[in-house]
Amino acid sequence: MKRIVVTMGDPAGIGGEIIVKSLPHICRQSIPVIIGDLQAIHRIQRTLFRKSEQSFKPFKGGSPGDAEFIDLGIVRTVDFGVTEPKFGEASFKYIIEGLKLIFSGDASAIVTCPVNKRSIHLAGIEFTGHTEILAHYGGVTEYVMMMANRSMKVSLATIHIPLKDVPGSISAGRIANTIMITHGSLQKYFGIDKPYIKVCGLNPHAGEQGIIGNEEEMIEEAIGLARAAGIHADGPFPADTLFHKKDCDAYVAMYHDQGLIPVKTLDFSKTVNITLGLPFIRTSPGHGTGFDIAGKGVADPTGLIEAYRVAERMSSKTT
């Protein structure tokens, strides 16, 4: 029976709550292996629910309807919505434990609940966030962040960098690589034989033929490189008019908000973060730790349910 790892994320966030709420919906075609702190989960169950919604089994055996739990025993008490080094350390160790199962072949994918970058930094861990950790231990330097829902898929040429640094961070090679990784992943994981990809410009009106910047020249070069590799890609298109008509398989945006605003506006709750280019499948809800609502019992598990189902579908394409 296929197993899929689910890491708890920051204990002070909504990860534990959305896991507990999600379990009745995801324990069907595969077995979720939850990695976190059982005491923290039990506190969430006692605080938010009158009775436990799910019992957990040790990591062995299992059948549809089961959930397994690996208890790292790091965090015994949780202060919701608090940034602390111990929570950053715990978040990191959950990921490492999950990767052990991936690399040993005991799990087919990893689904990560949100972490807090500040807590990870305070713990002395020199990674910006999930994607960078997974890429490091996956042994890759070329990877792509894709945000996807059932209507739209958007890959990013740059991720979590200041807006002022974007023009200097993109190059024809980097953009072409984003297009190519996106193309290959659409074929491998989504069953699209001949993907069609549209590419955003960087500047307003896609530079308007050099009047409003010339970065579009390197974007055109990148598209040419992708086409030379047999990829159906077009652009650069003005981003303000590109997304209203969904007539392609995926888009490539130049920076974080340019691509994430349209996809999240279209369907926020079911938007999933997918890291492409890793030697394993990784998905995550498209939202953050929810510190402002943590511990209040109002967190929506839809994003985690969707991230799990996407990981399930992707892993089915590789077997």
At CB < 8 A and 24+ separation, what contacts does 50-53 make?
A: 53/20, 53/21, 53/23, 53/24
Percent of residues, the chain, with pLDDT higher than 70:
94
Percent of residues, the chain, with pLDDT higher than 90:
76
At CB < 8 A and 24+ separation, what contacts does 41-44 make?
A: 41/8, 41/16, 41/69, 43/77, 43/78, 44/16, 44/17, 44/20, 44/78, 44/295
- Which pLDDT does position 55 carry in this prediction? 53
CB neighbours (10 Å) of residue 59?
Answer: 18
- Which pLDDT does position 49 carry in this prediction? 64
Burial 191-201 (b: 16+ CB within 10 A, else e): eeeebebbbbb
Mean pLDDT, the chain, integer:
90
Residue 67: band (very low, low, confident or very high) from pLDDT cuts 50, 70, 90: confident
Q: Which of 14-28, 58-72, 125-139, 197-211 shows the lowest mean pLDDT across its residues?
A: 58-72
pLDDT exceeds cutoff 80 at 1: no
Range 24-41 average pLDDT: 88
Tens of pLDDT, residue by residue over 251-268, are 999 999 999 999 999 999
pLDDT exceeds cutoff 70 at 50: no
Range 226-250 average pLDDT: 95
Range 1-14 average pLDDT: 93
Range 34-56 average pLDDT: 73
Tens of pLDDT, residue by residue over 200-226, are 999 999 877 778 888 999 999 999 999
Question: Residue 168 has which token pair?
Answer: 């200097």
- Which pLDDT does position 52 carry in this prediction? 46
- Which pLDDT does position 173 carry in this prediction? 96
- Which pLDDT does position 262 carry in this prediction? 96
For residue 188, give the H/E element and its range. helix 172-190
What's the DSSP call for residue 288?
-
Tens of pLDDT, residue by residue over 81-90, are 999 999 999 9
pLDDT exceeds cutoff 50 at 102: yes
- Which pLDDT does position 306 carry in this prediction? 97
- Which pLDDT does position 211 carry in this prediction? 82
Tens of pLDDT, residue by residue over 269-309, are 999 999 999 999 999 999 999 999 998 889 999 999 999 99
Q: Which of 152, 122, 146, 125 is nearest to 136 (CA)?
A: 125
What lies within 8 Å, CB to CB, of 87 at 6+ separation is 10, 11, 12, 75, 116, 119
Range 168-173 average pLDDT: 95
- Which pLDDT does position 143 carry in this prediction? 94
278 touches 134 (CB < 8 A):
yes
Burial 29-41 (b: 16+ CB within 10 A, else e): ebbbbbbbbbbbb
pLDDT exceeds cutoff 50 at 142: yes
Give the whole-angstrom CA distance, residue 13 versus residue 105: 29
Q: Which residue did the predictor score with more confidence, 79 or 172?
A: 172
Give the whole-angstrom CA distance, residue 4 versus residue 9: 15
- Which pLDDT does position 8 carry in this prediction? 96
DSSP-assigned beta bridge partners for residue 185:
none
Q: Which domains does the chain have, with CATH numbers?
A: 1-140+278-319 (3.40.718.10), 141-275 (3.40.718.10)
Residue 60: band (very low, low, confident or very high) from pLDDT cuts 50, 70, 90: very low
